[in-house]
Amino acid sequence: MTEHAAATSRRLPRGPGATRPRRRGSAPTSPRGRRAFTILELEVSLVVLMGGLLCMSSLVTVQGKQMTRAEAWCRDAPTYYLVSQSNRWLRMLGASANLETEAGQAAWVPPVTGSHTYDPNVVSIHENLDAETMTVRVELFLIE
């Protein structure tokens, strides 16, 4: 055993329950040799925790404002007026009813009704001889 090792073994107590001597300026240690938290560390961690919670609280506040805006349509027991489609083509296509907030508003009128004049342009023609069907794609140009 060297002289240095012998000196070290003299300074360090051995056996169960023995405590290591604290170095100068080091944090207090438990009997098992683990370093404990200081009060300062505890206070800092609490401040950091509170800062995190405050950040979260701002998120909740923003979310609350957005939610208030998003549910504005149903907040005060609204009354909506449903207007069924009067155009039979729209009924065939299964278009949804028009939604109005006041009674007696004119329902939306599709642009294909009325006495407009269109210039048709045949884009493509597909014939299916097996099914005996023909699909024609036509573009309509409104003539002012």
Partner 1 sequence: MDRTPKRKRRGFTLLELLIAAGLSVGMVLITAQFWRYYSRQLEDLKARAHVAQELRIALGAIRRDMGPAVGATPVGADQVLLCIDGGPDPNGTAEWGAPDTLVTYSLVNGKLVRTDQASGVEIVLVDHVSGFTVEDITASLLQMTVAIEKGGISRQMVLRWSRP
Based on the shown chain and the rule CB under 8 A, indicate whether residue 120 belongs to the binding site for partner 1. no
CB of 122 to partner 1, least distance (A): 24
Q: Answer yes or no: are the C-beta atoms of 122 and 136 closer than 8 Å.
A: yes
Q: Answer yes or no: are the C-beta atoms of 107 and 83 closer than 8 Å.
A: yes
Based on the shown chain and the rule CB under 8 A, indicate whether residue 74 belongs to the binding site for partner 1. yes
Q: Interaction with partner 1 in 4-33: which residues (CB under 8 A)?
A: 21, 24
Neighbours of 83 (CB within 10 A): 13
Interface residue with partner 1 among 9, 57, 105, 121 (CB under 8 A) is 57
Phi (first) and psi of residue 29, to 5 degrees: -115, 155
Q: Is 128 helix (H, G, I), strand (E, B) or coil?
A: strand
What tokens does 104 get?
A: 């007696």
Q: Answer yes or no: are the C-beta atoms of 76 and 68 closer than 8 Å.
A: no
User: What's the CA gap between 96 and 58, in Å, rounded?
Assistant: 40
CB of 89 to partner 1, least distance (A): 9
Q: Kindly indicate which of the ranges 45-53, 108-116, 120-128, 131-139 contains the residues binding partner 1, using the contact rule CB under 8 A.
A: 45-53
Query: In the block, which residue shows the tokens 């269109």?
Result: 118
Based on the shown chain and the rule CB under 8 A, indicate whether residue 69 belongs to the binding site for partner 1. no
Interface residue with partner 1 among 6, 53, 122, 123 (CB under 8 A) is 53
Binding site for partner 1 (CB under 8 A): 21, 24, 39, 42-43, 46-47, 49-50, 53-54, 56-57, 60, 63-64, 67, 70-71, 73-75, 77-86, 88, 90-92, 94-97, 99, 103
